[in-house]
Structure 1
């Protein structure tokens, strides 16, 4: 293979570290450009950039201490045998990585807001942090059961959904009490509005559970959920910054936490976030979108997660619709979620991740333009 072929191969299938460097540069440049334009909350320089890079640094350094502990506790991932065969070699990689980057982001956002504002922390930020921690706790229970049973089955789907709804009900009822009736008036593109009244409650519960489960489904390839989560969080933070400075800082902190986690999770991963991290990411995005009343922007920046979830629904529906009397049905994709379909179609892991990053960056740009 000549030098030209080698360079082409690296471009098509970049290394995990190359993707990490690319993502850090994109998010850093984006934060600097946004703040240079004078659009940052309270017009203070660094309210996006410093939390982003600070949490990335702390999360990355903390990982060097936490991952060996996870290894000693034998938290090795149990890989599904019916998944892509290339993933079988990942068995034994420690999971539950969400415990360190989610914790860093929550703590840092509360401390940063207190230091910069010099006043009390807003109830909105406290509520979003509690919801994020709650969903992370649900994920931890699921991860722990997987490890305890030494199978890829944790708590039952019904129990997981019940806990998600329970935390969601508490959060949504507080939100309705705190912001009613303004929170029930949903802005849409074209200066349209959707007045929901108390129907906001079921919508909010759907958004919380759907977003967290969709993010969970996306966590199937090294660096995919953490990278797309970092992009979506920072993008949403930028969009809500004119009116919700505290939540913007939270988004920047969790985005930075994801970047720090990617130091250890980029291909080849030395740790997985597990449900402890993925449910927290989805819950955080949904909570910020609901609290800031920016559901349309949330939907657009979360487009990757939506498509991943939709691919699973479509696969199951098509299989059942085409099932023969012998009990065999046809598959719409080679495997769902969608990233596995691309893998089985010959794409490398980093190629899938790189393309998904680019698509998510474009979705954030579209959401910002529509906003």
Structure 2
């Protein structure tokens, strides 16, 4: 089964360039942050969305020009899996592990702009911890000269271990109200002890979801920048320090996009993708906005769900020959659209729009 209902081809005339998409998403997020700050009366203040976004954006873009020659010299060229779309084979050799320069910059400036807020420092620790897991995976890929890094079991063990450590810190230092979830129409849902397994699951699931989404030039960088800004706007009234963190990390993603937009000169690797998922999840947990996080990052959830459906359907339909059927042309979901006739830029542009819509919905109902 090919899920033909998902294979409608977009208009061929809609074919933006990578630079055009970069300009569009960057301008939109900048204007959005300015409007949000102006409405809240935060414009010009250090604790705003705009100040950290603009500062980190510029610093990360500059850092990229310095980091790229180093990554090339270290021979960090990406290995492309043969079972992926054939059009991606030409990307082999593009430097990867770009998360090593944009994630730490976002974290450092977030801590500085927040005045060394304990919440931001804890979120930053979790972000760097998940980035470290990604770095281990990227390093093993480069060392072995294949697309296989650390084992899935080892990656999961590390993710769960850091998730437990973070949840224990939250449990010991934060008020019991952190276990209440914000729902639409001002409703609050107290979860009590059930909050903690949910929080651990969200940390692991969100980091894996962003990891799966990182499959096209500029895809995760742009969608994460939009999601972080949307989440920052959502939590601004109750957690301004975490709003600053979101603004800084959104700016880091935009600065990285200067070098990662199609055609990409560098990939973020697991170092960046796992860190971004951890950052989003940590902010959602500490702000009590897991429901808002779900809406804002629903696209990442769909990417994960497409892989689960693909694997399950293949196993269920496996015949005597040991071969099963595929529900999608290829998973994750962005590859399905690619193989259905969409260009890479069309997929990325559409996913940017969907993420922006989801962020707007979350802000309007929560």
How does the TM-score come out when normalised to structure 1? 0.93
| Distance in 1 (alpha carbons) for counterparts of 2:252 and 2:126 | 17
Shift of 1:187: 2.4
Specify the SS of the correspondent of 2:188. Answer: strand
Alignment partner of 1:214 out of 209, 212, 221 = 209
Matched, 1:297 2:292: yes
Deviations along 1:180-204, whole A, 9 cap, x unmatched?
4211222222444332222222111
Deviations along 1:58-94, whole A, 9 cap, x unmatched?
1011001101100000000000001000000000001
| Distance in 1 (alpha carbons) for counterparts of 2:80 and 2:53 | 32
Deviations along 1:135-179, whole A, 9 cap, x unmatched?
000000000000001111100111001001101101001111122
| Distance in 1 (alpha carbons) for counterparts of 2:148 and 2:201 | 24
Matched, 1:316 2:316: no
Shift of 1:110: 1.2
| Distance in 2 (alpha carbons) for counterparts of 1:38 and 1:45 | 13
For 2:39, the equivalent position in structure 1 comes to 37
Shift of 1:47: 1.6
Tell me the matched-pair count: 357
For 2:100, the equivalent position in structure 1 comes to 99
Matched, 1:307 2:302: yes
CA contact (8 A) 1:218 1:225 kept: yes
Unaligned runs of 5+ in 2: 1-9
For 2:254, the equivalent position in structure 1 comes to 259
Unaligned runs of 5+ in 1: 1-7, 115-120
Alignment partner of 2:220 out of 217, 225, 247 = 225
Moved more, 185-194 or 267-276: 185-194
For 1:118, the equivalent position in structure 2 comes to none
Shift of 1:45: 7.3
For 1:187, the equivalent position in structure 2 comes to 182
For 1:241, the equivalent position in structure 2 comes to 236
Shift of 1:267: 0.4
CA contact (8 A) 1:106 1:129 kept: yes
For 2:6, the equivalent position in structure 1 comes to none
For 1:287, the equivalent position in structure 2 comes to 282
Cα–Cα, structure 1 residues 11 and 360, in superposed 2: closer, same or farther, change >3 Å? farther
Cα–Cα, structure 1 residues 11 and 99, in superposed 2: closer, same or farther, change >3 Å? farther
For 2:195, the equivalent position in structure 1 comes to 200
Cα–Cα, structure 1 residues 84 and 227, in superposed 2: closer, same or farther, change >3 Å? same
| Distance in 2 (alpha carbons) for counterparts of 1:122 and 1:32 | 23
CA contact (8 A) 1:40 1:241 kept: no
Alignment partner of 2:162 out of 153, 160, 167 = 167
Matched, 1:62 2:43: no
Shift of 1:112: 1.7
For 2:336, the equivalent position in structure 1 comes to 341
| Distance in 1 (alpha carbons) for counterparts of 2:190 and 2:255 | 40
Matched, 1:130 2:125: yes
Deviations along 1:31-53, whole A, 9 cap, x unmatched?
11111212549x94772112111
How does the TM-score come out when normalised to structure 2? 0.95
Specify the SS of the correspondent of 2:114. Answer: helix
